[in-house]
């Protein structure tokens, strides 16, 4: 069975490759705006489902993987920043405190679907204005939930992480593997062999 990643994120593709999966890439084009009153967990799960569902009809016979990641601090959702000013504002909110990284993951094939949400707690040290300006000028904030990349220069800012590291990068590989095994076993997470062809 084929695996299709419904994302243009090079970070997600790299994580899957490093974990030994063979897959194709087919980015989804959906409206990612948050609905009024939608909780963060509901948002990432809905977007992951919609991404997988949007790509699935073009890839019959494949398992399509959709994912969406965002950062939550004090109940506020931080998605991708809108330019340098947005990145500066987001990093200012994360400075010297803890935040939550949520990723929704969904698998879709024919009329079957399996999904879940991974949460990781990340703590930043206090950031000076120079820290923030240096980081934003480096260009790593663009296209990143919460305006930072933990596997890059922002690793200097992280004092503690509780939970899945790959989740903070952009795709919780442990959850993906659990869902794939459950999907192969009948649609529920945990146990069972991975579908043939999904692993190297």
Nearest to 44 by CA among 149, 117, 124: 117
Separation CA 38–CA 76 (nearest Å): 11
Instruction: Please pick, among 14, 29, 31, 68, the residue that the annotation labels catalytic.
Output: 68
Helix axes 173-185, 10-18, angle to 10 degrees: 70
Active site residue 68: yes
CA–CA separation, 39 and 37 (whole Å): 6
Q: What's the helix, strand, coil split of the chain in %, to 5? A: 35, 25, 35
Alpha-carbon distance 53 to 143, whole Å?
23
Contact at 8 Å (CB) between 180 and 107?
Answer: yes
Answer yes or no: are the C-beta atoms of 194 and 23 closer than 8 Å. Answer: no
| Residues annotated as part of the active site | 68
């Amino acid at each position: 069975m084929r695996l299709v990643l419904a994302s243009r994120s090079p970070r997600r593709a790299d994580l899957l490759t490093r974990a030994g999966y063979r897959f194709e890439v087919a980015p989804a084009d959906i409206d990612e705006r948050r609905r009024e009153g939608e909780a963060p967990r509901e948002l990432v799960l809905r977007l992951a489902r919609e991404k997988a569902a949007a790509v699935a009809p073009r890839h019959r016979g494949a398992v399509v993987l959709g994912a969406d990641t965002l950062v939550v601090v004090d109940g506020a959702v931080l998605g991708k920043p809108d330019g340098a000013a947005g990145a500066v504002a987001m990093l200012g909110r994360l400075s010297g405190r803890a935040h939550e990284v949520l990723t929704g993951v969904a698998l879709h094939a024919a009329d079957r679907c399996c999904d879940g949400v991974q949460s990781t707690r990340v703590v930043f040290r206090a950031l000076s204005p120079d820290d923030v300006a240096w980081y934003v000028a480096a260009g790593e904030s663009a296209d990143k939930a919460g305006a930072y990349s933990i596997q890059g220069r922002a690793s200097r800012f992280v004092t503690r992480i509780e939970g899945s590291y790959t989740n903070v990068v952009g795709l919780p590989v442990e959850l993906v593997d659990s869902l794939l095994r459950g999907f192969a076993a009948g649609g529920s997470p945990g146990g069972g062999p991975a579908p043939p062809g999904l692993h190297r």
